[in-house]
Amino acid sequence: MVIEIKRGLSPSLGKGFHSAYADLAPERAFVVYAGSERYPVAESVEVIGLAEMARILANPRALRSQRPPKPPTASF
């Protein structure tokens, strides 16, 4: 599992995140931010609020039973 923490309400993934993600090849990755919504940004990468991430870390078995959501696909 990879976790990156962002301070603001509009998290973005930088070069360092992508480099670490490629090197570590985790099953799941999270970007923790100051907001409360949870949504996918890429395959196996989710943006998640701090409170919900704390709940996951307190009970990691619950995470194993959840499948990562698929990111939305653009429809034109």
The string of pLDDT tens digits covering residues 11-31 is 988 899 999 999 999 989 999
User: Does residue 69 surpass a pLDDT of 70?
Assistant: no
pLDDT of 76 higher than 50: no
Residue 74 has pLDDT above 60, yes or no: no
Which residue, 54, 62, 53, is CA-closest to 29? Answer: 53
pLDDT at residue 73 in the model: 60
Within 10 A of 26 (CB to CB), how many other CB atoms are there? 14
**Model-wide pTM > 0.85:** no
